[in-house]
Structure 1
Amino acid sequence: MKIGIIGGGSVGLLCAYYLSLHHEVTVVTRRKEQAAAIQSGGVRLYKGGKEFSADCSADTSINIDFDLLVVTVKQHQLQSVFPLLERIGKTNILFLQNGMGHIHNLKDWHVEHSIYVGIVEHGAVRKSDTAVDHTGVGAIKWSAFDDAKPDRLNILHQHNRSEFPILYERDWYPLLTGKLIVNACINPLTALLQVKNGELLTTPAYLAFMKLVFQEACRILRLENETEAWERVRTVCGQTKDNRSSMLVDVIEGRQTEIDAIIGYLLKEARLHGLDAVHLEFLYGSIKALERNTNKVF
């Protein structure tokens, strides 16, 4: 299968390494320097103190026919990707983003492509333009969006690996909302408080506020099993207790966060259904303020 990976960040490089073991993979990057480095040296993966490498191609444009495109850029970068995808022939496109802000876009996106959405449960940190550290084994979970046919991606399951499982889920909504509720509870609070994930459990005031955020998000998403969802939030928080969330890292390094994809989606849904979301509004405004402050020159 010819697979194009759009985005050369941590998730893009992780997918490129594992998928290139069994498929013909091309990484589509924004910068010519990164594309040239991948084209000449492939992708390197670090895991368990060992280094691995895999050959794959790279380019800065989508100029060949792909059987599958995997879009791994961050949510706020999608607006520059959509026009590129509109100019190519009909194909299969899998979107792997944090949050659900892109769902509103996809519902209004009138193209002939077969659209799939998914989540990434792996831990990964990009070390360079060509190298990624696989810090935690999870899974890629995906589902067909609207009228897309899931059997078109069956080949992805034929080479499933224990360290990189690819799992099909029948319904995209619970798949994405399950991940969203975790991101909404952990990422903005850790970014605002400047703490590692585990402190949300060990500090009573932080835990109490996280529960309020959780309850608002559940009401907006209409989750059926809140007890199970809350246990998942606590479990993820505990399992990643020594980690800094991606949103905290973005704030520290002065990058745009994914607050619009996560909390922004919830606030838009709340407005559509006439629901109050005072705690989510507070978190959204606070992270937006941090984004503005990190861009100031003192």
Structure 2
Amino acid sequence: MKIGIIGGGSVGLLCAYYLSLYHDVTVVTRREEQAAAIRSEGIRLDKDGEEFSADCNADTCMSSDFDLLVVTVKQHQLQSVFPLLERIGKTNILFLQNGMGHIHDLKDWRVGHSIYVGIVEHGAVRKSDTVVEHTGLGAIKWSTFHNTEPDRLNTLFQHNHSDFPIRYEADWYRLLTGKLIVNACINPLTALLQVKNGELLTTPAYVAFMKLVFQEASHILKLENEEEAWERVQVVCGQTKENRSSMLVDVTEGRKTEADAIIGYLLKEASLHGLDAAHLEFLYGSIKALERNTNKVF
């Protein structure tokens, strides 16, 4: 099967490596330099001190000559991708973004494509244009969203590496909100406080504020089992205690964060339904201020 991976970041390279073991994969990159490097060198995966490599094609152009397109760019980069996707013929498109900011866009997107959404539970760090480190094993979970053909994707994904499981979930909203609540509680606070994930559990004041954020977010998302969701937040925080969240890394390196994708979605939903979100508003404003202060030294 022919699969196109849109985006050559950590998630894009990780997906391209593992999917290329079973499929004909092309990475669609923004820069010709990266595309040329992938065509020449393939993709190298670093995992647990070992190195693995896989041949892979790459290009800077997008087409409908694929059985599936997997969009791995960050949510704030989607606005430059949507027009390109609108110009190609009908195909299957799987969106793998942090947060849920793109959901509002997808609901209003009038195209003939079969649209799927999913989450990435793996840990990955891009080391160069062709090298990705697989820092934590997880899964890709996906669900149907609009005008879908789930049997088509199930057929595509029937073969996958044991370190890269791909699983179908029936309820896209439950799937995405399950990860969003974790991201909303951990990422903005670690970025604002400049701490690793685990420190949120070891300082009582941090735990208390995280719980306030959780309560607001869970109310906005209308979570069915808040106790289970709060336990999940704490478990993930503990399991990744030595990690620096992606939002903390983005702030430290002066890059645009995924605040709009994560907190922005919650604030928009709160506004639509007249719900209080004072703590989320504080976090959002704080992160956006840090984004503007790109010269800040950490």
**TM-score category by the smaller chain?**
over 0.9
Check the 8 A contact 1:156/1:166 in 2, yes or no.
Answer: no
How is 1:269-284 mapped onto 2 (pairs within 5 angstroms)? 269-284=269-284
SS at match of 1:51: strand
Deviation at 1:160, TM superposition (A): 2.5
Per-residue CA shift, 1:108-129, capped at 9, x if unaligned? 0000000000000000000100
User: 2-side partners of 1:254 and 1:65: how far apart?
Assistant: 37
SS at match of 1:94: strand
Deviation at 1:54, TM superposition (A): 0.4
Deviation at 1:151, TM superposition (A): 0.8
Deviation at 1:63, TM superposition (A): 3.7
1:142 counterpart residue number: 142
Check the 8 A contact 2:64/2:91 in 1, yes or no.
Answer: no
Query: What is the aligned-residue identity percentage?
Result: 85
User: 1-side partners of 2:296 and 2:63: how far apart?
Assistant: 39
2:153 counterpart residue number: 153
How is 1:225-264 mapped onto 2 (pairs within 5 angstroms)? 225-264=225-264
Deviation at 1:64, TM superposition (A): 5.5
Taking structure 1 as the reference length, the TM-score comes to: 0.98
User: 2-side partners of 1:168 and 1:115: how far apart?
Assistant: 14
SS at match of 1:132: strand
User: 1-side partners of 2:224 and 2:64: how far apart?
Assistant: 44
1:27 counterpart residue number: 27
Deviation at 1:137, TM superposition (A): 0.4
RMSD over aligned CA atoms reads: 1.1
Deviation at 1:146, TM superposition (A): 3.0
User: 2-side partners of 1:117 and 1:75: how far apart?
Assistant: 12
Per-residue CA shift, 1:207-258, capped at 9, x if unaligned? 0000000000000000010000001000000000000000000000000000
- Give, as a single letter, the amino acid of the residue that structure 2 aligns with 1:151: D
User: 2-side partners of 1:39 and 1:79: how far apart?
Assistant: 27
Per-residue CA shift, 1:52-92, capped at 9, x if unaligned? 00011000011451110000000000000000000000000
How is 1:10-159 mapped onto 2 (pairs within 5 angstroms)? 10-63=10-63, 65-159=65-159
Deviation at 1:97, TM superposition (A): 0.1
User: 1-side partners of 2:166 and 2:64: how far apart?
Assistant: 25
2:4 counterpart residue number: 4
- Number of equivalences: 297
Deviation at 1:154, TM superposition (A): 1.4
- Mark the runs of 5 or more structure 2 residues left unpaired by the alignment: none
Matched, 1:217 2:217: yes
Check the 8 A contact 2:18/2:160 in 1, yes or no.
Answer: no
User: 2-side partners of 1:289 and 1:53: how far apart?
Assistant: 40
Deviation at 1:162, TM superposition (A): 1.6
Deviation at 1:148, TM superposition (A): 1.2
User: 2-side partners of 1:201 and 1:63: how far apart?
Assistant: 46
User: 2-side partners of 1:63 and 1:246: how far apart?
Assistant: 30
Per-residue CA shift, 1:184-224, capped at 9, x if unaligned? 00000000000000000000000000000000000000001
User: 2-side partners of 1:64 and 1:70: how far apart?
Assistant: 12
SS at match of 1:294: coil
Distance 1:64 1:219, change over 3 A: closer
2:204 counterpart residue number: 204
Taking structure 2 as the reference length, the TM-score comes to: 0.98
